[in-house]
Amino acid sequence: MRNNSKEYRRFLSENFNVSEAALELYDKVSRRLTERFSEIEQIAAYNQAKVLKAFQNNRISYAHFGETTGYGYDDLGRDALDRVYAEITGAEDAMVRHNIVSGTQAISACLFALLRPGDVMASICGAPYDTMEEVIGIREGEYRDTGSLKDFGVSYRQVDLKDGAPDYTGIESLLKSEKIKVVLIQRSRGYEWRNSLSVDVIGKIISLVKQISPETLCVVDNCYGLFVEEKEPTEFGADLIVGSLIKNAGGSLALSGGYIAGTEECVRKAGFRLTAPGLGKHVGASLGMNRNMYQGLFMSPHIVAESIKTAALCAGMFEELGFDVCPASLEQRSDIIQSIKFGSAENVIKFCQAIQKGSPIDSYVTPEPWDMPGYDDPVIMAAGAFVQGSSIELSADAPICEPYIAYMQGGVIYDSAKIAILRAADEFI
């Protein structure tokens, strides 16, 4: 349990309007989470050692923080950072770039890099994340003729989850019935009421795919998952894993960007897609962004642990308040997202607005639902972050639709994020 002195409690009461009832609830939940927090810290310690060793093995120095401009040929910092990511994730190669604007762009680049007209891809763990639907072409959205995979003659198949878990029989049946070039596996829950996939489960899926169809490529959406467990999907045979630097990997310091790691051949093709055939990874000026990406990666294992503690506390508080949560407070986790089923639009909005009030940036702003590009339903987003849209910093969002579930993630500093959760809990006491 962190600081619980009378002076601290008085300060929270007088300055953040935290009630004594919320503090008593916190006391009860935090005692229950002591052992779980110790487990989280053990995973962080292992991952921190892994990151430190990768920095040392690649002889990272102050010179790697230097700026390049123009084409960025021979950018020492950029190329060394690729090697560090490859070592950390157990991959043959990696590509880390500040000008990847989102995880969606990174995944899109990988799919377009690996697929050709006439090929078939499949999402084998249920529907992909909302923003991927327009990339694939299974939802046209506001625009037509967007250059989706469907527009380029790529067909799509889907194997839904079965009782919240992978349908291994369905996956096997699909792979035996037709040639699938790429399978997409989403590690996190997205906007779904289900547990995220552990790396062990992802490894089992990949093993099944490769056993039936060795030539099928496995791409894992690793957003929200890096450093949550001790291993990454590339260590279980994933051909590519993909993530955003304004989620786990950037440690809240990267101002933008994404990473792609996997086999040398697949990363090479992804590089050609991001820049141009023949150029690939060899170009791309760092523009002075290397320092933030290196330091953010170095801090990431600790910050991910703070985020997981924040999620576990949130789960415990709202369990005690009678709400359904996923995952439960004491469950093992494989992403940083916490889901709470509120049952009404009013409650979802109330929760997100309370999280905003407990944020360091824009705490005075009141978020409201809006028609966000890439989503079917209006979405409310609470994000009082130093980096716009950063999901490793404390944030909460929800599509305004039944069954009215809010998704909270992040928390760079547990002791700060805790105050936001106390304020949110107070709304329901």
Report which of 16, 10, 33, 1 is spatially closest to residue 308, judged by C-alpha positions: 33
Residue 3: how many other CB atoms lie within 10 Å: 10
**For residue 20, with 0-12 CB atoms within 10 Å meaning exposed, 13-18 middle and 19 or more buried, which class applies?**
exposed
Can you read off the two tokens belonging to residue 168? 């291994």
Predicted local confidence at residue 374, as pLDDT: 67
**Distance (Å, whole) CA 201 – CA 28:** 33
Can you read off the two tokens belonging to residue 237? 């045979």
Predicted local confidence at residue 3, as pLDDT: 63
CB 422 within 8 A of CB 26: yes
Q: Count each helix (H run) and each strand (E run) in the chain, helices first.
A: 12, 12
Could you say which of 3.40.640.10, 3.40.50.300, 3.90.1150.60, 1.10.10.10 is the CATH number of the domain covering 6-47+298-426?
3.90.1150.60
Span(s) in the chain for CATH 3.90.1150.60:
6-47+298-426
CB 229 within 8 A of CB 199: yes
Q: Could you name the CATH architecture of 63-290? A: 3-Layer(aba) Sandwich (3.40)
Predicted local confidence at residue 375, as pLDDT: 75
CB 128 within 8 A of CB 223: no
Give the DSSP H/E element, type plus range, for residue 395.
Answer: strand 395-399
Helices (H), 157-281: 168-177, 199-212, 264-274
Predicted local confidence at residue 309, as pLDDT: 98
Predicted local confidence at residue 244, as pLDDT: 97
The mean pLDDT values, 10 residues at a time, for the chain of 429 residues are 81 95 96 97 98 98 96 96 98 97 96 98 93 88 80 96 94 97 94 90 98 98 97 98 97 97 98 96 95 98 98 98 97 96 96 96 94 82 92 94 95 96 96
Q: Which residues pair with 162 in a beta bridge?
A: 165
Rg (CA), the chain: 21
Q: With the C-alpha atoms ordered 398, 400, 403, 404, is the resulting torsion angle positive or negative? A: positive
Output the DSSP codes for 71-94.
T-TT-HHHHHHHHHHHHHHT-SEE
**Distance (Å, whole) CA 189 – CA 234:** 19
Span(s) in the chain for CATH 3.40.640.10:
63-290
Predicted local confidence at residue 1, as pLDDT: 54
pTM equals: 0.95
**Distance (Å, whole) CA 73 – CA 186:** 34
Q: Which residues pair with 220 in a beta bridge?
A: 185, 241
Cβ-Cβ contacts under 8 Å for 367 (sequence gap 6 or more) = 352, 353, 356, 380, 381, 382, 383
Predicted local confidence at residue 2, as pLDDT: 62
